[in-house]
């Protein structure tokens, strides 16, 4: 691993998410790992015109405005080798433009405004011979390989197939393809996304994904109070309850077919879930949203963990981070079979269709606790570190440049 690590480089990280978002971020974790051996400038999401007009009191909008007006530093240190940049510019909100040629002209202007701020910041930090890392941002960064000064190599990282989402469908497919073609290498967090990227750049690789296991350093608390009275077996899910990602009908079928099982669903619900028949079933229990530090206790209380995905453009290639969290506690897992799930096949029960779920859950409930599979699951999950992920990326970059 050591000889493939990216070391002693000046790296610019540009992506969709800002450092100050309240939820976990792959890009932030990768930037932190890169900063262990390199100098890194992390570019926060620039202020856009509509956000400035519609939500001027929003915390992140205020941060960008303070930087824009010189009331706060635009460059701020995170540690000795990592800085964030709040660009002192406003980008035009242009996604509504239906004509590719006109959109591209305005998008180039946006890219140029943002690139100017990044170039100035890089000079102030003394960055040279830059490695550009772009996280899934094919709008604001599509022209960065040409506009940013001193860029030697470009890595495009894809962790979601955003072009399947309504907002990005209009211009996203052609812009992402264009950016992939420009990249030195394309890296993805799943085999499915790497295969998709290879359609545009043959130097596209699956580097997996890291997972934050710091919560394992403390003992996992006992059963949460709100599910102590729930009878076993408990079949559980932790995460946002969104109809675009989870199969509500499948959950209804499992609960109806197996009334002796109790389903515990931990997470915030969208409107479809709130209106579903699940709320009318006595053996389905909703806890609502829970703080991240409480989630291990819920997972540890489940007899079987599930990931009942619907398969669509948004889900089929997603790296299922929650599976790592389930496996890190040694739990049996039953999940929908997708291309991204195949790497987990030796450690989970995969279902090709809805009809297989009850049988697979039954098998999971009947596991022999002396089989050693629990320890195998834990070892496998804990191998998915950000260090290993970045090392894999470094290996492919190194091999490409040879």
CA-to-CA separations, 183 to 202, 227, 319, 380, in angstroms, rounded: 11, 49, 22, 31
pLDDT of residue 160: 87
Q: What is the spatial order of strands in the sheet that 234-238 belongs to? A: 284-288, 262-266, 234-238, 304-307, 333-336, 349-351
| Mean pLDDT of the chain, nearest integer | 93
* 152-168 pLDDT per residue, tens: 999 999 988 888 888 99
Distance CA 244, CA 372 (A): 36
- Residue 209 sits at φ, ψ, to 5 deg, of -150, 145
* Domains of the chain (ranges, CATH numbers): 2-210+385-401 (3.40.50.2000), 214-382 (3.40.50.2000)
* 131-146 pLDDT per residue, tens: 999 999 999 999 999 9
Give percent of the chain above pLDDT 90.
77
Confidence (pTM) = 0.89
Q: What is the mean pLDDT of residues 76-80?
A: 95
What band does 23 get if pLDDT is binned at 50, 70 and 90?
low
> HEC states along 286-325?
EEECCCHHHHHHHHHHCCEEEECECCCCCCCCCCCHHHHH
Residue 22 has pLDDT above 80, yes or no: no
Q: What is the mean pLDDT of residues 336-362?
A: 93
pLDDT of residue 382: 93
pLDDT of residue 1: 44
Q: What is the mean pLDDT of residues 122-134?
A: 97
* 264-282 pLDDT per residue, tens: 999 999 999 999 999 999 9
Any idea which of 213-217, 352-356, 392-396 has the lowest mean pLDDT?
A: 213-217
pLDDT of residue 26: 84
Most confident of 281-285, 288-292, 369-373: 281-285
Most confident of 14-23, 52-61, 208-217, 385-394: 385-394
pLDDT of residue 60: 83
Q: What is the mean pLDDT of residues 378-387?
A: 93
Cβ neighbour number for residue 128 with a 10 Å cutoff: 12
Q: What is the mean pLDDT of residues 235-247?
A: 95
Q: What is the mean pLDDT of residues 4-32?
A: 86
Higher pLDDT, 344 or 25: 344
Distance CA 68, CA 175 (A): 28
pLDDT of residue 171: 95
pLDDT of residue 216: 81
Distance CA 241, CA 245 (A): 8
Distance CA 95, CA 107 (A): 9
Task: Say if CB 86 and CB 19 are below 8 A apart.
Answer: no
Q: Which residue has the tokens 């390199």?
A: 38
């Amino acid at each position: 691993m050591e000889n493939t690590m990216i070391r002693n480089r000046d790296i610019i990280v540009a992506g969709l998410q800002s450092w100050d978002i309240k939820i976990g971020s792959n890009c932030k974790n990768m930037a932190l790992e890169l900063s262990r051996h390199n100098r890194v400038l992390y570019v926060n999401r620039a202020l856009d015109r509509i956000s400035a007009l519609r939500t001027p009191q929003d915390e992140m909008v205020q941060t960008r405005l303070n930087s824009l007006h010189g009331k706060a530093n635009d460059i701020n240190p995170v540690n000795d080798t990592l800085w964030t940049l709040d660009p002192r510019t406003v980008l035009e909100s242009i996604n509504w433009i239906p004509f590719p040629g006109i959109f591209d002209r305005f998008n180039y202007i946006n890219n140029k405004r943002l690139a100017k701020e990044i170039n100035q910041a890089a000079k102030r930090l003394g960055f040279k011979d830059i490695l550009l890392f772009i996280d899934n941002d094919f709008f604001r960064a599509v022209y960065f390989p040409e506009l940013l000064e001193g860029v030697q190599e470009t890595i495009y990282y894809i962790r979601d197939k955003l072009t399947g989402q309504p907002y990005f469908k209009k211009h996203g497919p052609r812009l992402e393809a264009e950016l992939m073609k420009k990249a030195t290498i394309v890296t993805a967090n799943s085999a499915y996304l790497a295969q998709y990227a290879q359609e545009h750049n043959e130097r596209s690789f699956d580097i997996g994904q890291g997972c934050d296991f710091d919560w394992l350093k403390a003992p996992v608390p006992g059963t949460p109070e709100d599910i102590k009275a729930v009878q076993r077996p408990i079949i559980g899910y932790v995460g946002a309850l969104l109809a675009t990602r989870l199969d509500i009908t499948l959950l209804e079928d499992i609960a109806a077919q197996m009334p002796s099982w109790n389903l515990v669903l931990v997470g915030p619900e969208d409107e479809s879930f709130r209106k579903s028949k699940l709320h009318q079933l006595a053996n389905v229990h909703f806890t609502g949203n829970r703080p991240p530090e409480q989630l291990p206790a819920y997972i540890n209380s489940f007899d079987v963990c599930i990931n009942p995905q619907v398969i669509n453009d948004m889900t089929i290639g997603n790296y299922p981070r929650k599976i790592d969290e389930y496996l890190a506690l040694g739990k049996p897992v039953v999940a929908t079979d997708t291309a991204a799930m195949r790497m987990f096949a030796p450690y989970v029960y995969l279902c090709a269709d809805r009809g297989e779920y009850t049988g697979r859950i039954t098998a999971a409930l009947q596991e022999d606790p002396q089989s050693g599979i629990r320890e195998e699951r834990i070892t496998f999950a804990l191998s998915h570190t950000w260090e290993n992920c970045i090392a894999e990326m470094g290996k492919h970059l190194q091999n490409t440049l040879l």
